[in-house]
Amino acid sequence: MARYLAHQLTQMVIAIFGISVIVFVITRVIGDPTSVLLPLDTPLEQREEFRRQMGFDRPILVQYVDFLGEAIRGDFGTSFRVKKPALSLVLERIPATLLLTASATVLAILIAIPMGILSAYKRHSLVDNLATVFVVAGQAMPIYWLGLMLIILFGVQLKWLPPSGYGEFGLDRLKHLVLPTVVLGVFLAPVAERLVRSGMLDALTQDYVRTARAKGLSERVVLVRHALRNAIIPVITVLGLQFGQLLGGAVITETVFAWPGIGQLTVDSIRNADFPVTQAAVITIAVMISVVNTLVDVIVGIIDPRIRF
């Protein structure tokens, strides 16, 4: 286990390091920070002077090592727009993103488990076909459009729910949470449903299911206690490894609903060329993904004693 953990941590460090290189290249090498920081009509000499002051004229490798050293200490510089440390701007957005991704995951699982069990149990039945329609439509769905349609239907026409924003803590927050959760849930549910279905299909052919039936256990107990329990492990693993994709969906959902999470902040910072915030946000997201992926591996290792490292 210790060796396995060490391996995972090494992978994690390599991944975060890789992302830091990519984001540095995008913001510093392809992009020119001075073009954002200085007015458009700044004369060339002043521009050069400014580049020297900021250290942008040094060799790119030196700049990167500097950037990395400061990033490790949590110093990504100050936001160009709001005069605050970039990292603290990013960190204060994390709870909103976690709230949204967690509630969407719960919704997706609540859809996927019953649907997956039923469509595996009654193959090629009406339920199974409906589930397939849901999966195919869900995977083709541009979720930002789904979000706009839900806003128009429930926020503008029916006025049942607030169209966007974060709301006040409490019931108001929950009302604001409903539509984004549905959108992100629809993004995640098709993948989860297919995983549950194929896991159940596999489990239902196993000997222990036949034994359980032969013992005279009810179908319900056989399905949930015996088959689902084994089918669920790959679902957890894959969903955990899909956390990055889920965050990608959250970026889109947060943008559409003005949900003040880390995704919306990143998109805003990119559109405003606020490079310190972009760098801090992208690296924070990479750290979040790596931590979740590693946790999932460890948890699965604990749940399933067959997996030994």
Partner 1 sequence: MATAEPRERVQAQVSLAELPVWLARRRTLRDWLRAAWKLRLSVLGGLVLLLLLVVAVAAPLLTPYTPSEGRIVDRLQPPVGLGGSWKHPLGTDGVGRDYATRLMYGARVALAVGVLSTAVATAIGVCLGILAGFYGGKVDWLISTLVNIMMTFPFILLALAVIAVLGPSFTNVVLVLGIGSWPIYARVVRVEVSRIKALEFVAAARVIGLTDWRIIGRHIVPNLVNAIIVIATVQIARLIITEAFLSYLGLGVQPPTPSWGYMLFESQAFMFNPAEWWLPMLPGLAIFVTTLAINLVGDGLRDVLDPYQRSSL
Binding residue for partner 1 (CB under 8 A) from 86, 100, 196, 247? 247
Look at residues 288, 286, 273 and name the one whose alpha carbon lies nearest to residue 18: 286
- Comparing CB distances to partner 1, the nearer of 46 and 139 is 139
- Tell whether the torsion through CA atoms of 190, 195, 196 and 197 is positive or negative: positive
Q: Does 123 bind partner 1 (CB under 8 A)?
A: yes
- Tell whether the torsion through CA atoms of 38, 39, 44 and 46 is positive or negative: negative
CB 111, min distance to partner 1, A: 19
Q: Does 31 bind partner 1 (CB under 8 A)?
A: yes
Which residues face 78 on adjacent strands? 85
Stretch that binds partner 1, among 37-45, 68-76, 167-175, 239-247 (CB under 8 A): 239-247
Q: Does 121 bind partner 1 (CB under 8 A)?
A: yes
Stretch that binds partner 1, among 38-46, 56-64, 86-94, 243-251 (CB under 8 A): 243-251
Q: Does 27 bind partner 1 (CB under 8 A)?
A: yes
- Comparing CB distances to partner 1, the nearer of 181 and 284 is 284
CB 302, min distance to partner 1, A: 22
Binding residue for partner 1 (CB under 8 A) from 100, 104, 113, 151? 151
Name the token pair of 164.
Answer: 């966007």
Look at residues 254, 272, 271 and name the one whose alpha carbon lies nearest to residue 263: 254
CB 169, min distance to partner 1, A: 26
Binding residue for partner 1 (CB under 8 A) from 44, 72, 126, 156? 156
Distance CA 120, CA 114 (A): 10
Contacts by residues 11-14 (CB-CB < 8 Å, ≥ 24 positions apart): 11/290, 12/290, 12/291, 12/293, 12/294
Q: Does 94 bind partner 1 (CB under 8 A)?
A: no
Stretch that binds partner 1, among 78-86, 98-106, 108-116, 287-295 (CB under 8 A): 287-295
Q: Does 163 bind partner 1 (CB under 8 A)?
A: yes
Binding residue for partner 1 (CB under 8 A) from 59, 205, 215, 216? 205
Q: Does 18 bind partner 1 (CB under 8 A)?
A: yes
Q: Does 54 bind partner 1 (CB under 8 A)?
A: no
Q: Does 26 bind partner 1 (CB under 8 A)?
A: yes
Binding residue for partner 1 (CB under 8 A) from 37, 178, 241, 298? 241
Binding site for partner 1 (CB under 8 A): 11, 14-15, 18-19, 22-23, 26-27, 30-31, 120-123, 136-137, 139-142, 144-146, 148-149, 151-152, 156-157, 163, 194, 198, 201-202, 204-205, 241, 244-245, 247-248, 251-252, 255, 263, 266-267, 270-271, 273, 278, 282, 285-286, 289-290, 293
